[in-house]
Structure 1
Amino acid sequence: MTGPLATLKNRLLSALPTEDRGLLAPHLTPVDLEKGRLLYDPGDLVDQVYFPDNCVISMMTLMENGAAIESAIIGREGALGLMAAVAPRQSLCRAIVQAPGPALRIAAGPLHEVWTRSPALRDLIDRHGEALFGHAIQSVACNALHAVEARFSRWLLSCHDRIDSNTVNLTQEFLADMLGVQRTTVTAVAGSMQTKGLIRYRRGVVDILDRAGLEAMTCECYGAVRRGYERLLPASFE
């Protein structure tokens, strides 16, 4: 396979038969998604679908008072806006690039045309939707029931699964939104995890030093979400 699929890392696209990927290839455009780039806000028409390669997109639920919390992330195991392949969709959340990097983009119209011709793509979209829904509802429970350190560990592990780096760029503001806590709490939690040798935390940057330690600290939700993806999309985290 040549063109934008030549060095493909997105595992959802990789799971398609070669013929089906060939139908998509002429419509896929490589893009570099910079950190903080806003892809959608609630109510926006989903006219572009993104297949991350080595980046992470956060799906944020917004409140009327401006508060926000992360409900799920999407990386190379999936795609943002994939249900627009089935029918026109409006975004239900804010989608913002958290870990920058390359992705493939396709307009919703051509993707829908391939969807009508490809049973394999229809099946993948159905399974991806179920996995993402499971991810989101597990996040609801996690945010309500689990300690901040466990939730932070879960997020770092989930991000680490989706990028080729031990370093994650994170602002205090985003960490506070992601965890649903005050910035002072973020400082305290990051400092505690650094003292334990799990991470190195600098202004806007987290280096993962001890993945096994993070796995020991995280809650059950990390494993539950990962198992959901592995069951429905078996190549998600190979």
Structure 2
Amino acid sequence: MLKGEQGFTMDARIGKATEVGSRPANNLLRRLSPADYALLAPHVIVDDAAANELLYSPGDDVQVVHFPCGPSLATFLVPNEDGRDVETILVGREGAVGGIVSEGFLPAYTRICVKFGGPFARIHVGKLEAAKLRSPTLRNIFARYADCMLAQIFQSTACNAIHSIEQRTAKWILAAMERTGDESSVPLTHEQLATLLGVGRSYASRVLQSFRADGILDTRRGSILVRDRDRLRLRACLCNEAVKNHFEEVLRGVYPTEEASSTG
């Protein structure tokens, strides 16, 4: 289990270190210059994480930065007084989780879980912070990514306040597809979608049924199949586009595109 101080150690036995010339499939890491990545490479471990694996709980010391690679996704969940968690943002290969805004070594505020399992690159916060002290350009890249992450949070807050459940459903499915690179489906259950939306499972199921009746989506056990992506986009709000546009202004080339997804 990868829970910061609760058991995770940066030990090569649980994964493999990366060579300087062979980077993990994470766009943020691939955005770094060769010199900047060389500062991190000796300390980066790549291993697999299972879906629903807990990375951090509220109050945990943030000791490790996790970079989703390829189709892997992580999610931030805010616990509510009724016992339910509400997901705020998804993070895929465009970014990282753990100490990005706080620069580490502070208690986690939310739960951070693996949404879709797969490879993750990991680096100890102390190693990353030491490298940032040695390189202003590396520090700048992570400051820019922190800005993009905050933009996602702001946009998510606005979206939850003003957009319908149907619009948000379409948005979340499209966001997951973009980040995983799958052009036709996402491994998302009704229960998981309900958590993303902050609604009950029955409500989420009714929304999916309306999309299904219109020929836009279909469902299989444990996954949602997209039949008409263009029509799904028309039903979505523009929050994904706003986030992507900000990424392009601040960190061009980092947010996943359909072209990049198809080529890996």
What is the TM-score when the length of structure 1 is the normalising length? 0.93
Conservation of the 8 A alpha-carbon contact between 1:99 and 1:168: no
Code of the residue aligned with 2:136 in structure 1: it is P
Q: Structure 2 CA distance, aligned partners of 1:213 and 1:78? A: 28
Which residue of the partner structure matches residue 199 of structure 1? 217
Which residue of the partner structure matches residue 231 of structure 1? 249
Q: Which of 189, 193, 205 is matched with 1:187 structurally?
A: 205
Residues 4-61 of structure 1 show CA distances to partners (whole Å, capped at 9, x for unaligned) of: 8625321111111101111111111111121111111111111111111121111111
Identity of aligned residues (%): 35
1:3: Cα distance to partner?
2.8
The 3 A distance-change label for structure 1 pair 83 and 143 is same
Conservation of the 8 A alpha-carbon contact between 2:216 and 2:227: yes
Residues 46-89 of structure 1 show CA distances to partners (whole Å, capped at 9, x for unaligned) of: 11111111211111111133122111111111111143783422
Which residue of the partner structure matches residue 66 of structure 1? 83
Question: Which ranges of structure 1 fall in alignment gaps of 5 or more residues?
Answer: none
What secondary structure is seen at the aligned counterpart in 2 of 1:43? Answer: coil
Which residue of the partner structure matches residue 260 of structure 2? none
Question: Which ranges of structure 2 fall in alignment gaps of 5 or more residues?
Answer: 1-17, 258-264
Conservation of the 8 A alpha-carbon contact between 1:85 and 1:115: no
What is the correspondence of 1:171-186 to structure 2 with a 5 Å cutoff? 171-186=189-204
Residues 79-106 of structure 1 show CA distances to partners (whole Å, capped at 9, x for unaligned) of: 1114378342221111111111112111
Greater Cα offset, 159-168 or 218-227: 159-168
What is the TM-score when the length of structure 2 is the normalising length? 0.84
RCO comparison, higher one (Cα < 8 Å, 6+):
1
What secondary structure is seen at the aligned counterpart in 2 of 1:83? Answer: coil
What secondary structure is seen at the aligned counterpart in 2 of 1:161? Answer: helix
What is the correspondence of 1:1-150 to structure 2 with a 5 Å cutoff? 3=19, 6=22, 8-54=24-70, 55-83=72-100, 86-150=103-167
What secondary structure is seen at the aligned counterpart in 2 of 1:197? Answer: coil
